[in-house]
Amino acid sequence: MLNDCLFCAIAAGEIPGTIVHQDELAVAFRDIDPVAPTHVLVIPRRHVRDLGELADHADDAQAVLAAVREVARIEGLADYRTVLNTGAGAGQSVFHVHAHVIGGRGLSWPPG
């Protein structure tokens, strides 16, 4: 856990979050500002900055993907979008890697 990391604190239960699913390596919780009926963030418990760093931790990367799949199952989503913003210029605002799981409404492409 990294001091001053919001998502580390949510994973540790120090800051409230609406947990959808968790296991030894990953935690899924609802986004505070949802853009769709389902908007869940999936993070590794390990503090990893972004997708580039996550790629160096195969067990954590696998756990994140499996947790995304589990969130979709729990939420009853056959169709959903998974987004990992990497870098401020791409919209990353919290520098603990997270996969947005978005669904429950129609989703257009390309995104904004």
Question: What amino acid positions are annotated as catalytic residues?
Answer: 98
Considering CB under 6 A, how many residues would be counted as binding ligand DGP? Answer: 13
H or E segment to which residue 10 belongs: helix 6-11
Position 39, amino acid: H
Edge-to-edge, what's the strand order for the sheet holding 19-22?
19-22, 26-30, 38-44, 99-103, 80-83
Nearest-approach distance from CB 96 to ligand DGP, in angstroms: 9
Nearest-approach distance from CB 100 to ligand DGP, in angstroms: 6
Write each residue from 10 to 29 as x if it is in contact with ligand DGP (CB under 6 A), else as -, in one continuous string: -------x-----------x
**C-alpha torsion angle, residues 101, 97, 3, 59 (rounded to 10):** 100
Tokens representing 80 are 């959903």
Nearest-approach distance from CB 90 to ligand DGP, in angstroms: 8
Query: Footprint of ligand DGP on residues 41-100 (CB under 6 A)?
Result: 41, 85, 91-94
- Site residues, ligand DGP (CB under 6 A): 6, 17, 29-33, 41, 85, 91-94
